[in-house]
């Protein structure tokens, strides 16, 4: 994958014991901003917005969630430590890839909920918007990493 194909990039860092994260977006290197809302709020922060089609119903959106500690699945053994979501538009050449460090997150087709036990820990969430044409390269990444897809 060529990095130039990424249209938008953002990173959220949530420090241990905090619910408000810091966000940095492409083009603003070194300019961390306070998150608009607490990460455990259902609305108002960038990742709740990005995940709205994963936790809701939209026929024009398809997604694949993967996590080595998937929600509601006890003690999965994988060779991977990967966690994330790929979100695809069925009516445009648009996709988002969210890579994160949060076990059991997100719970697809359920109201957005931040795992309360994860507030005590620090976490990173990275969001990339990419052309759908890059999905095959991401699929190769999945294949090589033995990721556990828990819903699609």
- pLDDT-based confidence at residue 88 (cuts at 50, 70, 90): confident
Contacts with 25 (C-beta within 8 Å, 6 or more apart), sequence order: 8, 9, 10
Q: Is 114 helix (H, G, I), strand (E, B) or coil?
A: coil
Enclosing domain of residue 138: 3-151
Banded pLDDT at 120 (limits 50, 70, 90) = very high
Q: Both tokens of residue 64?
A: 């694949």
Taking the C-alpha atoms of residue 88 and residue 62, their distance in angstroms, rounded to an integer, is: 5
Domain count for the chain:
1
pLDDT single digits (tens) 138-148: 878 777 766 66
Q: Supply the pTM of this predicted model.
A: 0.79
> What is the residue whose two structure tokens read 């608009």?
36
User: Looking at residue 16, what is its pLDDT?
Assistant: 94
Q: Is the dihedral of CA 93, 48, 113, 53 positive or negative?
A: negative
Confidence class of residue 107 from pLDDT cuts 50, 70 and 90?
confident
* pLDDT, tens digit, 9 for 90 and up, residues 1-29: 344 454 567 888 889 999 888 887 777 66
Residue spans of beta strands (DSSP E) within the chain: 8-14, 22-25, 33-34, 61-67, 83-89, 95-100, 123-130, 149-151
pLDDT of 93-106, one tens digit each?
A: 878 888 899 988 88
């Amino acid at each position: 994958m060529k990095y130039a194909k990424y249209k938008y990039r953002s990173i959220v860092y949530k420090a241990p014991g905090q619910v408000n994260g810091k966000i940095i977006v492409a083009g603003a290197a070194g300019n961390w901003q306070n998150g608009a809302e607490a990460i455990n709020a259902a609305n108002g922060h960038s990742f709740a917005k990005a995940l709205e089609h994963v936790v809701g119903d939209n026929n024009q959106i398809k997604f694949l969630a993967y996590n080595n500690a998937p929600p509601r699945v006890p003690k999965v053994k994988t060779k991977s430590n990967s966690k994330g979501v790929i979100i695809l538009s069925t009516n445009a050449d648009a996709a988002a890839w969210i890579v994160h460090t949060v076990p059991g997150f997100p719970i697809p087709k359920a109201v957005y909920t931040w795992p309360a036990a994860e507030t005590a820990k620090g976490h990173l969430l990275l969001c990339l918007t990419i052309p759908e044409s890059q999905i095959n390269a991401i699929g190769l990444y999945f294949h090589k990493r033995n990721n556990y897809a828990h819903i699609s």
